[in-house]
């Protein structure tokens, strides 16, 4: 039952709007009835006005027809307004859900971050407010119009049926000849957009190292493939669109010819000749309109499938019972971790625990798995096996919205967001000035902020471009310690700091220790190790050493000394043997 719900989640959202669609269908009923006014007006002109030569009858019929035309225009206006609001309501019902799913996709599949789902939702909304959807509402009236033509004369009816079959065949041929190319074009368009967006995000690096031309040429190659594929789809679509238009015009003209022949034979009135042409044009109009808007329909269908697939891949998160605020007790048991989408383990058999208030330093060579350990600790990447627990509860059982205020995280790549410095520090939640200033002072960034043009109200722009790397790192640290979190994870927090900044960072860690926070500190520099009480040395995704800082450092020093080559006089005979047996451990520089 649950899987069926997930499969039809997007459909269920649309089904909640069924009353609005029924209202649109109700308006379409009267719009299509009023579409008969031109034909009826023509019949009355021939049947009443020309025979009676009554100007009064002509005036009354004209006024009545004009009134009906005004009512039809108003109904079409209202129908259009309803569909516009239905599209906006659908987007309102889905945009939060899609926003959350986009983030989960970006976390579980690094490097796939894109706003494409929101653009897909906009594509569906735009289709719902366009002519293509009107064609779907008007097409059920085609049999009624054809039945009316049969009432005029069977030949009229069969002629309209033949024309409808030809137009329907053109519609199917249009789908068959363009579906593949439009699908490929949409895929290439998304890839081209994401690639260009990635290049622009890294504009400084690209410009500094003269990579712009090479990346532009690479992007152009992919973009040209998209244009060529789209052109092929558009060429095919234009063939059938123009064929459909020509066929409809030709059918209406030939209907006049058929009516003229039947009128000569005395089987129909001359008025029916013109009325039949008008009614057949109305009957075939939805098919012609559908073919003309086929590209928009195909794009909306592709957007629907992508959104539906995303919602199935990331179903709405289960609501867990609210847990008490965490104290900061951390434990990992036999954790096996691989990057999302891969089966190659980065962490293997990680087991350790930290009591509340402990400070753990994590060191090791590059690619040892330090940042991956951070992602496992915070529940950013799902573990393949084992458990990650915070205060005894599985890290994935916590409601992220409720847990977030108790977690402080400073990643390697500092990302600040468009807004004021105060809003960034407060995590864009309710702005508590006292807490913002307290966090800034704890991170020793208060004085620096006051020197900015507008102080805490300084707008830094997207990605914090108005600040230097060291300033961004310190503002990021203030954001991490905002609100006195219970667990603070700092991944290379001093990578952009000078000596003064490192001193401030060490002081901030000591203040957090006094507040009882559990701190996990990943670093390559020895200077910060003085503030930790527990030390872990990671190597090849496994814990090589773990324990009190002084004990671990003593073991590392002893291993480093034993790995030193002997004096030159004694080194030659044993050099190869020593090189093969010395473990790769030691204090990172």
Is the CB of residue 274 less than 8 Å from the CB of residue 259?
A: yes
The per-residue pLDDT for 6 is 41
Please compute the mean of the pLDDT values over residues 395-413 and round it to a whole number.
Answer: 85
The per-residue pLDDT for 354 is 92
The per-residue pLDDT for 55 is 85
| 8 pLDDT more than 90 | no
The per-residue pLDDT for 570 is 47
| 575 pLDDT more than 60 | no
Is the pLDDT higher at 301 or at 112? 301
The tokens describing 296, both together, are 């928009």
| 454 pLDDT more than 60 | yes
Q: Name the least confident of 56-65, 216-225, 253-262, 355-364.
A: 216-225
The per-residue pLDDT for 211 is 67
Q: Please write the tens of the pLDDT for every residue from 456-475.
A: 888 886 555 567 778 888 88
**How many other CB atoms are found less than 10 A from the CB of residue 251?**
22
Name which of 354, 309, 296, 289 is nearest 516 in CA terms.
354
Task: Please report which confidence band the pLDDT of residue 158 belongs to, taking 50, 70 and 90 as the band edges.
Answer: very high
End-to-end CA distance of the chain: 57
Is the CB of residue 259 less than 8 Å from the CB of residue 156?
A: yes
Helix or strand or coil: residue 547? strand
| 585 pLDDT more than 70 | no
| 441 pLDDT more than 60 | yes
The per-residue pLDDT for 330 is 92
Q: Please write the tens of the pLDDT for every residue from 70-85.
A: 998 899 898 888 888 8
CA 268 to chain CA mean position, Å: 60
The per-residue pLDDT for 578 is 31
Helix or strand or coil: residue 527? helix
Name which of 442, 512, 524 is nearest 479 in CA terms.
442
Is the pLDDT higher at 80 or at 5? 80
**How many other CB atoms are found less than 10 A from the CB of residue 502?**
15
Nearest-angstrom CA–CA distance, 281 and 265? 24
The tokens describing 223, both together, are 């973009």
Q: What's the chain's average pLDDT?
A: 81
Q: Name the least confident of 168-172, 367-371, 422-426.
A: 168-172
Largest Cα separation within the chain, whole Å, is: 132
Please compute the mean of the pLDDT values over residues 273-282 and round it to a whole number.
Answer: 83
Q: How far is CA 496 from CA 264, 266, 449, 470, 474, in A?
A: 93, 95, 17, 5, 9
| 360 pLDDT more than 90 | yes
The per-residue pLDDT for 110 is 63
Is the pTM of the predicted complex or chain greater than 0.85? no
Name which of 110, 79, 113, 84 is nearest 99 in CA terms.
113
Task: Please report which confidence band the pLDDT of residue 111 belongs to, taking 50, 70 and 90 as the band edges.
Answer: low
DSSP string, 304-333: HHHHHHHHHHSPPPPPPPPPPPP---EEEE
Q: Name the least confident of 403-412, 477-486, 489-498, 537-546.
A: 489-498
The per-residue pLDDT for 239 is 78
Task: Please report which confidence band the pLDDT of residue 225 belongs to, taking 50, 70 and 90 as the band edges.
Answer: confident
Please compute the mean of the pLDDT values over residues 2-22 and round it to a whole number.
Answer: 70
Please compute the mean of the pLDDT values over residues 287-311 and round it to a whole number.
Answer: 79
Nearest-angstrom CA–CA distance, 315 and 311? 5
Nearest-angstrom CA–CA distance, 76 and 32? 10
Q: How many CA atoms lie within 13 A of 338 on its CB side?
A: 8
**How many other CB atoms are found less than 10 A from the CB of residue 104?**
14
């Amino acid at each position: 039952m649950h899987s069926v719900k997930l499969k039809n989640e997007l459909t269920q959202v649309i089904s909640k709007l069924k009353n609005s669609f029924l209202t649109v269908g109700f308006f379409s009923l009267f719009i299509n009835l009023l579409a008969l006014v031109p034909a009826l007006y023509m019949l009355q002109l021939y049947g009443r006005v020309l025979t009676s030569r009554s100007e009064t009858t002509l005036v009354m019929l004209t006024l009545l027809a004009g009134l009906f035309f005004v009512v039809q225009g108003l109904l079409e206006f209202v129908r259009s307004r309803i569909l516009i609001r239905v599209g906006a309501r659908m987007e309102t019902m889905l945009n939060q859900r899609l926003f959350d799913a986009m983030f989960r996709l970006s976390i579980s599949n690094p490097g796939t971050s894109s706003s494409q789902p929101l653009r897909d939702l906009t594509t569906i909304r735009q289709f719902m407010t366009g002519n293509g959807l009107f064609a779907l509402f008007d097409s059920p009236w085609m049999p009624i119009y054809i039945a009316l033509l049969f009432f005029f004369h069977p030949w009229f009816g069969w002629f309209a049926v033949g024309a409808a079959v030809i137009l329907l065949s053109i519609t199917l041929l249009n789908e068959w000849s363009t579906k593949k190319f439009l699908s490929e074009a949409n895929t290439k368009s998304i890839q081209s957009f994401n690639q260009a967006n990635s290049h622009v995000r890294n504009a400084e690096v690209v410009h500094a190292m003269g990579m712009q031309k090479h990346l532009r040429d690479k992007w152009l190659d992919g973009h040209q493939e998209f244009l060529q594929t789209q052109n092929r789809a558009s060429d095919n679509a234009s063939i059938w669109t123009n064929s459909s238009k020509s066929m409809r015009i030709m059918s209406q003209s030939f209907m006049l010819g058929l009516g003229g022949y039947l009128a000569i034979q005395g089987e129909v009135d001359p008025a029916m000749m013109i009325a039949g042409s008008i009614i057949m044009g109305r009957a075939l109009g939805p098919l012609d309109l559908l073919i003309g808007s086929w590209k928009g329909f195909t794009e909306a269908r592709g957007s629907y499938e992508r959104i539906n697939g995303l919602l199935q891949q990331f179903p709405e998160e289960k609501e867990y019972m609210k847990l008490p605020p965490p104290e900061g007790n951390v434990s990992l048991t036999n954790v096996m971790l691989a990057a999302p989408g891969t089966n190659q383990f980065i962490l293997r058999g990680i087991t350790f625990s930290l009591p509340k208030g402990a400070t753990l330093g994590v060191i090791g060579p590059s690619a040892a798995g330090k940042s991956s350990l951070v992602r496992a600790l915070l529940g950013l990447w799902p573990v393949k096996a084992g458990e990650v627990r915070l205060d005894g509860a599985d890290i994935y059982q916590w409601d992220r919205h409720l847990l977030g205020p108790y977690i402080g995280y400073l990643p390697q790549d500092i990302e600040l967001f468009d807004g004021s410095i105060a809003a960034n520090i407060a995590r864009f939640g309710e702005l508590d000035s006292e807490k913002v200033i307290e966090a800034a002072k704890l991170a020793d960034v208060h004085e620096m902020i006051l020197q900015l043009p507008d102080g805490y109200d300084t707008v830094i722009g997207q990605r914090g471009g108005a600040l230097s790397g060291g300033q961004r790192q310190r503002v990021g640290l203030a954001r991490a310690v905002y609100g006195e979190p219970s667990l603070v994870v700092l991944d290379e927090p001093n990578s952009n700091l000078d000596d003064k900044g490192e001193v401030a960072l060490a002081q901030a860690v000591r203040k957090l220790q006094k507040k009882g926070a559990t701190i996990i500190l990943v670093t390559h520099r020895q200077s910060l190790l003085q503030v930790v009480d527990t030390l872990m040395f990671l190597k090849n995704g496994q814990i090589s050493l773990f324990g009190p800082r002084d004990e671990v450092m003593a073991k590392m020093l002893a291993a480093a000394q034993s790995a030193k080559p002997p004096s030159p006089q004694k080194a030659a005979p044993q050099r190869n043997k020593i090189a093969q047996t010395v473990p790769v451990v030691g204090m990172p520089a």
